[in-house]
């Protein structure tokens, strides 16, 4: 990484324009532009002023070491793997691309690649200011609405409730999205502030040919049933329903990575899956509701004053967000963005 690109990246992470940084550092905007373009090396006093204004060191800003990166979810990052990147407590954290980098009809946008345990950021990539893990596809809407906002930008990592809570406990993320039965949510692993996100139903999604068959009939058949890992709240709902119906464990199908992936597998294989109602509707699947779940965002209290957390809270409470998410159906967004009173 060049001196100029390092300065530009840090400036954008802090959400500053060249003019704003110049005022804070006591230098000219022209100097900053020249340094970022690689046409100038700042004098000692200017370098010190820039580092102070950006809350970093001169060494980190103008002689950056190879970037050490850790997995936000605590899993293994493989060499050559494209990743999304954020920053938590000054540490770069990364997560592999969801759905193998497929985003609709195009490719997802990676931020960098892992190379011998180090991170190589792609040109123009800026680590997100806030990192949030959870399984609700609505988090992707929030991420897109906060894109390009420096310290207020969001990296939403798709993963199960259980994995998101482990990441919150280990400090790999600022916040986690959790869901489960009202009154049956797990205990927070750290002191948190809770925001209401939504209510939605989770259940058995089935291909059109299975629409008229009961839950018991589908589970007793030979059709493939895509399921989630045991830490997923939707999988736990499925196991509760299966146990209540007295059905032996069904033949397992492919492992799904999230609600949309599960519904996609069911549609592709002509089988069944255990996603949200909205995910089932997106793939025109039949849906047998099993449980209604409460969905909340849990923010580690340490980060409550983070500008990105404030921006996230404002987005969740906005009509701009709820109108977009409600379009997909299956969501009760009453009280979305409201703070949940401590019990």
pLDDT of 32 over the 60 cut:
yes
pLDDT of 319 over the 70 cut:
yes
Tokens standing for 176? 């986690």
Task: Compute how many other C-beta atoms are within 10 angstroms of the C-beta atom of residue 128.
Answer: 29
Q: Tell which residue, 144, 99, 150, has the closest CA to residue 324.
A: 144
CATH 3.40.190 domain extents, the chain? 180-343
CB 316 within 8 A of CB 142: yes
pLDDT of 210 over the 70 cut:
yes
- Give me the pLDDT at residue 131, please: 98
**Burial category of 106 from C-beta neighbours within 10 Å (exposed 0-12, middle 13-18, buried 19 and up):** exposed
Q: What is the pLDDT of residues 171-183, one digit of tens each?
A: 999 999 999 999 9
Q: What is the pLDDT of residues 38-66, one digit of tens each?
A: 888 888 889 999 988 887 778 778 765 55
CB 123 within 8 A of CB 112: no
Task: Compute how many other C-beta atoms are within 10 angstroms of the C-beta atom of residue 195.
Answer: 23
Written out in words, the top-level CATH class of the domain with range 3-62 is: mainly alpha
Tokens standing for 135? 């399984």
In CATH, the architecture of 180-343 is 3-Layer(aba) Sandwich (3.40)
- Give me the pLDDT at residue 261, please: 93
- Give me the pLDDT at residue 239, please: 92
Q: Tell which residue, 300, 105, 49, has the closest CA to residue 190.
A: 300
Mean pLDDT across 243-256? 82
Backbone angles phi, psi at 194, to 5 degrees: -105, 135
Backbone angles phi, psi at 226, to 5 degrees: -70, 130
pLDDT of 251 over the 80 cut:
no
CATH 1.10.260.40 domain extents, the chain? 3-62
Distance (Å, whole) CA 269 – CA 254: 10
Q: Tell which residue, 144, 170, 171, 176, has the closest CA to residue 157.
A: 176
Is pLDDT larger for residue 109 or for residue 340? 340
């Amino acid at each position: 990484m060049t001196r100029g690109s390092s300065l530009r990246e840090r400036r954008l992470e802090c959400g500053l324009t060249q003019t704003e940084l110049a005022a804070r550092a006591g230098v000219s905007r022209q100097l900053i532009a020249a340094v970022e373009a690689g046409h100038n090396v700042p004098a000692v006093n200017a370098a010190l002023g820039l580092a102070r204004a950006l809350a970093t060191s001169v060494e980190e800003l103008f002689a950056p070491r190879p970037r050490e990166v850790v997995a936000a979810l605590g899993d293994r990052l493989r060499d050559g793997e494209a990743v999304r990147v954020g920053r938590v407590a000054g540490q770069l954290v990364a997560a592999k691309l969801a759905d193998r980098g497929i985003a609709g009809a195009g490719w997802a946008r990676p931020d960098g690649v892992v190379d011998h345990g180090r991170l190589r950021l792609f040109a123009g990539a800026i680590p997100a200011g806030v990192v949030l893990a959870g399984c609700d596809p609505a988090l992707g809407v929030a991420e897109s609405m906060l894109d390009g906002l420096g310290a207020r930008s969001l990296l939403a990592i798709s993963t199960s409730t259980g994995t998101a809570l482990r990441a919150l406990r280990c400090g790999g993320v600022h916040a986690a999205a959790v869901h489960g039965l009202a009154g049956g949510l797990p205990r927070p692993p750290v002191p948190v502030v809770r925001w209401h996100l939504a209510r939605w139903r989770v259940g058995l999604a089935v291909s059109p040919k299975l629409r008229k068959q009961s839950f018991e009939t589908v589970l007793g058949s030979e059709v493939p049933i895509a399921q989630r890992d045991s830490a997923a709240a939707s999988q736990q709902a499925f196991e509760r329903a299966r146990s209540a119906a007295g059905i032996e464990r069904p033949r397992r199908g492919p492992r799904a990575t999230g609600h949309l992936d599960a519904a996609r597998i069911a549609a592709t294989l002509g089988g069944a899956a255990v996603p949200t109602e909205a995910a089932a509707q997106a793939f025109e699947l039949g849906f047998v509701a099993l449980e209604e779940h409460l969905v909340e965002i849990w923010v580690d209290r340490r980060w409550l004053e983070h500008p990105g957390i404030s921006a996230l809270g404002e987005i969740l409470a906005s009509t701009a967000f709820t109108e977009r998410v409600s379009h997909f159906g299956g969501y009760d967004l009453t009280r979305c963005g409201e703070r949940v009173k401590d019990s």
